[in-house]
Amino acid sequence: MTARTIFVTGTDTEVGKTLVSTALLRGLRSAGHRAVGYKPVASGCARTPTGLRNDDALALQAAGTPGWRYDAINPYAFAEPIAPHVAAADAGVTVLPDRLDTGHARLAAASDWVVVEGAGGWHVPLNAECDFADWVVGARWPVLLVVGMRLGCINHAVLSARAIRNAGAPLVGWVANLMPPLQPRVEDNLACLAQVLGVPPLARIPPMPDAELALNPEPWLARI
């Protein structure tokens, strides 16, 4: 069976993409699937004796099927916590989609599922000519949108969903991350988002989720 892939993007940075990606990996593994996370590009990495390491990529590595080296999970790692294409330029590196494809293919060849986590939002650049949206659309992967429930989230969610759909990518659905402190009138905002996006959230993440949160993959599987 050919491995399936889902791409996790967000309405912004720091909205819970890693939280959702790791929870989905745990859910897939609990359901008996070989599932691995992929953080193709990460900026904001710590310098360690074994090289640059990113917390999000490490979390994906820990949540997925064991046995993968860090550089298989995160082929492009940059120290500065800035936009990935800027960090890459500062490091004298060009992020090459072909290298990202090769890394994904390696994971997919030994897995049932690959959960790919983007950086920032849908249109974050990879290099001067290509952004995450171009890469994902070219791969024809379904997309899951994480909405951080905070002031401005309705506009951000509508713009992101519209951009994903207009690009021709299948939008599987969205996850509401109820970030602390809890947004005032959060239920009203959730109802509004369900109306404007056309579907209710596939999941609601509580403000203080369990560290080993696992999401049931069945709602996603039914839409892919």
pLDDT in tens, 93-129: 999 999 999 999 999 999 999 999 999 999 999 999 9
Integer Cα distance of 200 and 214 in angstroms = 19
Containing domain of residue 209, as a range?
4-221
CATH of the domain at 13: 3.40.50.300
**CB distance 5 to 141 below 8 Å:** yes
CA atoms within 13 A on the CB side of 87: 18
pLDDT in tens, 14-26: 999 999 999 999 9
CA dihedral 12, 18, 19, 23 (to 10 degrees): 130
CA dihedral 16, 56, 94, 68 (to 10 degrees): -130
Greatest alpha-carbon pair distance for the chain in Å reads 50
Integer Cα distance of 74 and 64 in angstroms = 13
Rounded to 5°, angle at Cα 83 from 44 and 152: 105
**CB distance 80 to 90 below 8 Å:** yes
Q: Of these residues, 4, 39, 85, 150, which one is catalytic?
A: 39
Going by pLDDT thresholds of 50, 70 and 90, the confidence category of residue 222 is confident
Domain count, the chain: 1
39 as an active site residue: the answer is yes
pTM of the model: 0.97
